[in-house]
Structure formats: structure tokens, C-alpha cells
Amino acid sequence: MSAIKIEHITKTYDKGNVTALNDISLEVAKGELFGLIGPDGAGKSSLFRILTTLLIADKGTATVDGFDVVKDYKQIRGCVGYMPGKFSLYQDLTVEENLTFFASLFGTSISENYDLIKDIYVQIEPFKTRRAGKLSGGMKQKLALCCALIHKPTVLFLDEPTTGVDAVSRKEFWEMLKRLKEQQITIMVSTPYMDEANLCERIALIQNGELLSVDTPEKIVASYPQQLYAVKADNMHKILNDVRFYENLQSVYAFGEYLHTTFKNDEAQIESKLTAYLQQKNNSGIEIKKIEPTIEDSFIRLMTEASLIKQH
């Protein structure tokens, strides 16, 4: 049995004028670390809110741990942990008070499930008498995670847990998630950062309320259909403009210190042809090389394709 099963979920706002989720179907296996990747406003939070029984979908059904999100909302509330995108603990209560409070709402106590949160809690324990509002961003995140875990949930929903958190804390946070996974907790995490996608077992790419692709990160990368080239020159601004007008070009976008480009027909001498074209346009220090696509390249391709289809 899958931990989360979503079938044809549709949700609109503003009397049907704004579509947040459009016919979404998805399954997450027990104990899986599943990532929901998408830009802001893609519908990630709406999906989370439906699965945590805070919002009712217009159409479709969904189950969490075998419980229907509408009919059995009471059971779901007892067995899921939810960490909203916005810090939603009591800022005027201390770290310990927050944790005790949420533990008691679930009819448990800190000591009862201490094993589960120990790794995380030890990091914030020195500040346990500090008010939650006075914690740093990373600390708040850890506390929120502790509060979401305190009742030993079977499914954990984390809505953009790393947004607004520094790089080191982000890395730590993902390590914590991996450890939680070992405890057989199903985790569904959303993030706008594509580099975090590789850290999930399976990912779903969501844009404008539609799923573009659901697979393992490796398979998504492997499904990249063309050869990808990295292009570099001394004047990056000029070369970007020049490459844009190259006749055989399919796509180009800046990626770190390189431009990533794909071409309409992958001919053998494409590198020398492009070099000649660019030299003719007075570019210096030209460097062109074949590269393996990353998960981000795959996403960029899927997203541009999806928006092109929408336009036509």
C-alpha cells in the first residue's frame, strides 16, 4: 500500500478563475523521500494543504496512510506531521514550551518520543529556554521539525523547509531527513531549489498546477533527449546575444559561468561551426564542450516545453 495516493486532484481559487492544481495524480510509496519541485506559485502548498486536511479539493480523491483526506480527516491529523512553509509556532513561547505543548496536544510527551527527535533536538536544546521568536532561521526550522515529529508521525509533510535558510543549515537539514527516512517515515518535501532534487529518491516537477514529470532524479536526467553543450567566452553578455541568433540553435540559457545550449540537428562538426560563427562575430576566448545534463537542465527543458505547449 502506498503512503500517499493522489487521484485527479483539482483545486481552483477565486470561483474557478485561478487554477492551483489541475488533475494531479501521484503515488508515494511507504518510507520514500519524495520531492515536489516547482517555482513559487506552482501549487505545491495547495497540494500540501489538501493532503494535511486543511483544504478541500474541488475534484478528485486523495489518501494518506490509507485514510481519505476528507472522510477520515481525524485519523490523518493524528498520524501526519506537517511543517508549513511559514514558521507557525508560538513565537512568545520558549523552545521547550512549544515542544511540550504540541506533544501534549497529541497526547504524548517529549520523553516518550525522544529517540526520534534526539538528533535534531540536541542542537537546539542549549536554547530551550529561549523564546521561539528569538531563534535564528535555521534553529526555527529545527524546532518546527521537532514539533512536527514529536508524535511519531507515519507521514511527514515539509512545505519548503529550506526556504530562507543558509546553505550550511540546508545541507544539515537534508541529512536529518535522510536519517528520518531510516526510521521508516514517509517524507514528502517541497522546494523551489532544483539542486535539492538530487537528494530525493523520487521527484515530481510541478508547474502552474500541473505535473510535468514524476521519476527518480537519475531517470529524469537520463531522459534528456539531446547533446548539451557548454559555451564560454570572455564577454558573456555579447556571446549570449550572438548565440541567440545562431541559425541551428534550439535553446540557450546562462548556467553558472557557461551558457548551456542545444541544437536543432546534432551534426558532427557543430563545435567547429559554432566557433567559426562566433569568431566572425568578434568573440574572443571561445570555449565549447560537450557536457552531461544535470537535473536542472532537465527541469529547464521540461518547463520551457510545457510553457511552449501552453502558448500554442
| Positions that interact with other proteins (CB under 8 A) | 52-54, 74, 77-78, 80, 82, 84, 86-93, 97, 101-102, 104-107, 147
Is the CB of residue 132 less than 8 Å from the CB of residue 91?
yes
In the complex with other proteins, which residue's Cβ is closer, 147 or 203? 147
Tell me how far apart the alpha carbons of residues 9 and 25 are, in angstroms, rounded to a whole number. Answer: 7
Parallel, antiparallel, or unpaired for β 258-263 and 249-255? antiparallel
Answer for the pair 162, 189: CB distance below 8 angstroms, yes or no. no
State how far the Cα of 215 lies from the Cα of 220, in Å rounded to an integer: 6
CB 20 to other proteins: min, Å:
17
* Run of H or E including 145: helix 137-149
Distance of CA 312 to the CA centre of its chain: 28
Rounded-to-integer distance, Cα 62 and Cα 68, Å: 6
Least Cβ distance, residue 84 to other proteins (angstroms): 5
54 or 240: CB nearest other proteins: 54
Considering beta carbons, is residue 51 or 228 the nearer one to other proteins? Answer: 51
Q: What is the DSSP letter of 52?
A: T
Closest distance between other proteins and the C-beta of residue 245, in Å? 49
- Can you read off the three cell numbers belonging to residue 23? 488533475
Q: What is the Cα–Cα distance from 162 to 58, expressed in whole angstroms?
A: 29
From the CB of 148, what's the least distance to other proteins, in Å?
Answer: 8
> Which is nearer to other proteins, 64 or 120 (by Cβ)?
64
CB of 54 or CB of 300, closer to other proteins: 54
Nearest approach in angstroms of CB 178 to other proteins is: 24
List C-alpha distances in Å: 212 to 29, 207, 233, 301.
19, 7, 33, 11
Nearest to 37 by CA among 195, 165, 168: 195
Name which of 94 and 208 has its Cβ closer to other proteins: 94
Q: Assign 252 to helix, strand or coil.
A: strand
- Least Cβ distance, residue 107 to other proteins (angstroms): 8
Q: Which residue, 49 or 202, is less far from other proteins as judged by CB?
A: 49
CB of 76 to other proteins, least distance (A): 8
User: What's the closest the beta carbon of residue 226 comes to other proteins, in angstroms?
Assistant: 43
Closest among 4, 3, 22 to 12, alpha carbons compared = 22
Residue closer to other proteins by CB (options 160, 242) is 160
User: What is the rounded radius of gyration, in angstroms, for the C-alpha atoms of the chain?
Assistant: 23
Rounded Cα–Cα distance for residues 11 and 183 (Å): 33
